[in-house]
Amino acid sequence: MQDLTDQILELVRLAATDLPPDVEKSIREAMAREAPDSAARSALQTILTNVELARENSTPICQDTGTPIFYVYYPEGWSTRKLRQQIEAAVAEATRRAYLRPNAVNAISGKNSGDNLGGEHFPSIHFEEVEGESLHIDLMLKGGGCENVGAQYSLPNTELGAGRDLEGVRKVVLDSVYKAQGKGCAPGVLGVAIGGDRGSSYYASKEVLYRNMEQANPDPELQEMEERLTDEANQMGIGPMGFGGKTTVLGTKITGLHRLPASYFVSVSYMCWAYRRRRMTVKDDQISYQ
Amino acid sequence: MRELTIPLSNETIRSLKVGDSVTLSGVMMTGRDAVHKWMIDTFIKKTRQPEGDDREVYEAIKPILKDSVIYHCGPVVSGLETQDYKFVAAGPTTSIREEPYQGDVMRHFGIKGVIGKGGMGPKTLAACREVPGVYFHAIGGAASLIAQSVKKVLGVYKLDFGVPEAMWVIEVKEFPVVVTMDSHSNSLHAEIAQNSKAVLDELLAR
């Protein structure tokens, strides 16, 4: 089996310092919509200047390099134990090189491990065996500010008048955007999962954020819902950084899971504008990055 | 764009209004969750006894913070092994977590400005009126850009809190911020929250 430590290190560097093209494009389009001389436009301009600078200097886009969340899709024959060791080695080296901030704090002792390693859940690594010959590693860096404004609702929700249907989902998602205000580094992207148990629902709300922003939802009903939620969230006028403006949300991604008859969870993962995610593909000793 | 120099006078602070874009130059200090809790517990509410270098650090930071600015930031720092520290990425962190502490910390140390993101609540706004002080909003996530305005790392206290949580004393030049809470009880955040609530209520009623 190949040692991929150096290649994974490059994946981490790319994710931390080089914002994906679909996200950058979406921020540019948002800036064009904001009024000239507005605080919203100026904030988005600063964000784009920062994105360019980070790419040029290979420095982190945001100092909160977040929780590194890896999804590894491997063909038969790979050792997940060795892959885990290589990912951990790459993450520690990326921290040493200041692509990542030391972010793993022991919740009981309060000690920062200093190298972004902390037991089996930090970094967060998910393995799935797949058919075919290519190995894919997806990495998302999700910062704490936006993670803190994520929310989970159990429907029905009387206070919001939200029942167990898509209309109810719409109401709680809008409530989560209102509650986030600018604190999750708006304009954000909403990852929404409907159904599941509390755990699977939250996972799915993050997994849906690996989709390209321009990729349409395979379900036309959910596609329509995504567009409506983005539009209505933007009507709230919270704007970039919460300064007020037309762009509160850059996009919405929704997925559905099977649920228990008794449960109807809606989970919202709020992704900040620094929507850092990258994919690495290994096929026949060839490595490519998307 | 108005250029301000730290230390900040009461007169300067009172002249600032919500919406003003300004730059800051001078010496300030970073401090976030662990630091605010440590200040309150050890020296303000005194629910725990000072230990280790607590007292020494407290005496050292007092003159730094007086009439200066505290920056809610957990930077990415290079040169940790050689102690030749340099800020590589240094955007603001979400300020609202310090809401229980911030007002008392401002009063205790005579802090005139708080830099962060996302804004703060009524307790901090009240302290801004009293001290007086203001809340400066930096652009969240603009970490590489903001790091360029950090010219020098002058020192660090409580590095055992971890790199993001330590108190980094920095010299900044033309650090760009926007006043979003002023010393006259105005808060852009309160205003946006109120306006967006009205729209939310309308959307929920549909």
* pLDDT on residue A188: 97
Tokens 């996200």 map to which residue? A23
The C-alpha atoms of residue A190 and residue A177 are separated, in whole angstroms, by: 9
pLDDT averaged over every residue in chain B:
97
Interface of A with B in 104-143 (CB under 8 A): 105, 110-112, 114, 143
- Residue pair A183/A242 in contact by the 8 Å Cβ criterion: yes
DSSP string, B25-94: EEEEEE--HHHHHHHIIIIIS--S---TTHHHHHHHHHHHHTTSEEE----EEE-TTTT--EEEE-PPPB
pLDDT digits (tens, 9 = 90+) for A76-126: 999 999 999 999 999 999 999 999 999 999 999 999 999 999 999 999 999
* pLDDT on residue A284: 87
The C-alpha atoms of residue A237 and residue A242 are separated, in whole angstroms, by: 8
CB-CB neighbors (< 8 A) of B119 in chain A: 181-183, 242
Confidence of residue A269 (pLDDT cuts 50, 70, 90): very high
Q: Is the pLDDT of residue A285 over 90?
A: no
- The answer to whether B187 faces chain A, any CB pair under 8 Å, is no
The C-alpha atoms of residue B20 and residue B25 are separated, in whole angstroms, by: 16
Confidence of residue B1 (pLDDT cuts 50, 70, 90): confident
Q: Is the pLDDT of residue A279 over 90?
A: yes
One of 3.50.50.60, 3.20.130.10, 3.40.91.50, 3.30.465.10 is the CATH number of B2-205, namely 3.20.130.10
Contact B141 A53 (CB under 8 A): no
Mean pLDDT of B118-122: 97
Q: Is the pLDDT of residue B28 over 90?
A: yes
* pLDDT on residue A142: 97
Mean pLDDT of A129-141: 97
Among the partner residues A43, A102, A175, nearest to B163 by beta-carbon distance: A102
Contact A183 B117 (CB under 8 A): yes
pLDDT digits (tens, 9 = 90+) for A166-198: 999 999 999 999 999 999 999 999 999 999 999
* pLDDT on residue A69: 98
Q: Is the pLDDT of residue B206 over 90?
A: no
Q: Give me the amino acid identity at B121.
A: G
pLDDT averaged over every residue in chain A:
97
pLDDT digits (tens, 9 = 90+) for B46-102: 999 999 999 999 999 999 999 999 999 999 999 999 999 999 999 999 999 999 999
In chain B, pLDDT over 90 holds for what percent of residues? 99
- The answer to whether B162 faces chain A, any CB pair under 8 Å, is yes
Do strands B2-5 and B21-30 pair parallel, antiparallel, or not at all (unpaired)? Answer: parallel
* pLDDT on residue B15: 98
* pLDDT on residue A1: 78
Confidence of residue B180 (pLDDT cuts 50, 70, 90): very high
Catalytic amino acids of B? 36
Write the ipTM: 0.94
